Amino acid sequence: MLVSDGLIEKYGSGIGRIKRLCLAHGIKQPKFEELQKGFRVTLYKETTQETTQETTQETTQETTQEKTAKVLTRQSICQLMRENKHITRIELAQKIGVSENAIKQQLVKLKREGMINRIGSTKAGYWEVIK
């Protein structure tokens, strides 16, 4: 099973940095594999024109998928808040299927962009969807 689908991403941004560095240097994208008690990363040292083209296509596709997922997550957050203005971050994470940290990051962005607002305290307050 490949780990690049987000299973390890919540531990930090190292995987993203590795991928970006490989892309920047024209090296084939690393292979991430889940093992019984950890994971394995295979890094490649050779670069070819074909590898560069493959890497660019893969990275472009992954980036597009990540951006689409973030937009869908943001839309889902707002929709769930419209349905239940007292919904918690934990509930949002469970319903959308992402980590609580991912929800937290999206909430910060949505607030900064003026799309949502928190009314009242953390425990007794509720969400207001503005846009």
Whether residue 26 lies inside any domain: the answer is: no
User: Is residue 113 a part of any domain in this protein?
Assistant: yes
pLDDT of 17 reads: 80
Domain count, the chain: 1
pTM higher than 0.75: no
- In the predicted model, what is the mean pLDDT of the chain? 78
Write out pLDDT tens, residues 52-102: 666 666 666 666 656 555 666 788 899 999 999 999 989 998 888 888 888
Q: Measure the CA–CA gap between 28 and 87, rounded to whole angstroms.
A: 43
Residue 31 lies in a domain: no
- Strand, coil or helix: 7: coil
- Is 92 a member of any domain? yes
Structural domain of 74: 70-131
